Copies of this chain bind each other. A is one copy, B any other.
Amino acid sequence: MELGFIGLGNMGVAMVKSLLRAGHQVVVWNRTREKAEALRSEGARVADAVADACRGDAVITMLADDGAVQHVACGAHGILDALAPGKTIHVSMSTISPRLVRNLAERHAERNQLFLSAPVLGRPAAAEHAQLTVLAAGPDELIEAMKPAFFALGPRVLTVGPEPESANVVKVACNAMIASVIEALGETLALVTKAGVEPRTYVDLLLATVLSSPMLRPYGQAALAGSFEPGFAIPLALKDMELALGVGRERSVPLPTISLIRDHMIEAIATGNGGLDWSALALVAQREAGLATQH
């Protein structure tokens, strides 16, 4: 496919590489041009302006937060201005608020422009190895049209529904679920440790029970090793918890577990561990149990 790609953070760069490797043509744009230039050697073309990335089959946005998306999509010379009606699809893959996605959907619709939301599950390493899970929402025919690109990013493309924002709701709900498991693992690991159980024994046992899941092994490993290299740094995870709480606020759904995890992420940042992976919630549990001090 002929694709524009806007937003070259860690995730964006890895996704572009996977798209190129699968044979797609990609025109990249980034606020700081250096990151775009660096992809030339991989086969990407570099756009001089946002509009130059909006002329193919689709333009994908993979930006840090609501503010960045609003700027690039709705600002002067942005995507809303550039997109030809009924031709190029805007595929928002950023983890942003369902509210902003709804707003984008409405504004694209007013202009007869095509729009999909398709956030992904997975870290940069998964993106580079084409192992992401794509959560797609919007008109079926657009999802169908994008599948060649989506399957270049990972083997699982899951359709959430016709409302684009619903993909973002599910995305933040999934991340809230993962965070809950990390949190409970951290608390119970502190518990068994102080009660004299070998921590590794506990994690191995969990992996032999009905709780066993693909995420449990790496996160259990991280907690045992005390090694919290940022795959998904706490401030980004905190952003996702706040997106979930924001949906809860808008729809009137109390989310006490997520509130508690949000507080623990803030505690991690306050105590100097904000640069670590979200698996470092285990450190907060350890600190509160008197097991560890500053990492």
Contacts and interface: CB of A to CB of B under 8 A. Distances in A.
Interface string A1-12: 000000000000
A190 B263 CA distance: 14
Interface centre among A177, A198, A201, A264 (most CB of B within 10 A): A177
A289 B181 contact: no
Interface in A173-219: 173-174, 176-178, 180-181, 183-185, 187-188, 190-192, 194-198, 201-202, 204-206, 208-216
A197 B259 CA distance: 22
A270 interface: yes
B290 A270 contact: yes
A202 to B, nearest CB: 6
Contacts of A210: 121, 178, 213-215
Interface residues of A, number: 77
A51 interface: no
A196 B102 CA distance: 12
A210 B174 CA distance: 10
Copies in the complex: 4
B178 A211 contact: yes
A187 B133 contact: no
B133 A208 contact: yes
A133 to B, nearest CB: 6
Contact of A252 (B156, B158, B264, B290): B290
B188 A176 contact: yes
A251 B194 contact: yes
B98 A160 contact: no
Contact of A266 (B178, B211, B249): B249
Interface in A211-230: 211-216
A259 B187 CA distance: 11
A23 interface: no
B187 A289 contact: no
Interface in A234-267: 242, 244, 247-249, 251-260, 262-264, 266-267
A156 B212 CA distance: 14
B195 A166 contact: yes
Contact of A272 (B156, B247, B290): B290
A161 interface: yes
A288 to B, nearest CB: 5
A201 B167 CA distance: 11
A165 B192 CA distance: 11
A152 to B, nearest CB: 18
Contact of A253 (B178, B194, B215, B252): B194
A158 B208 contact: yes
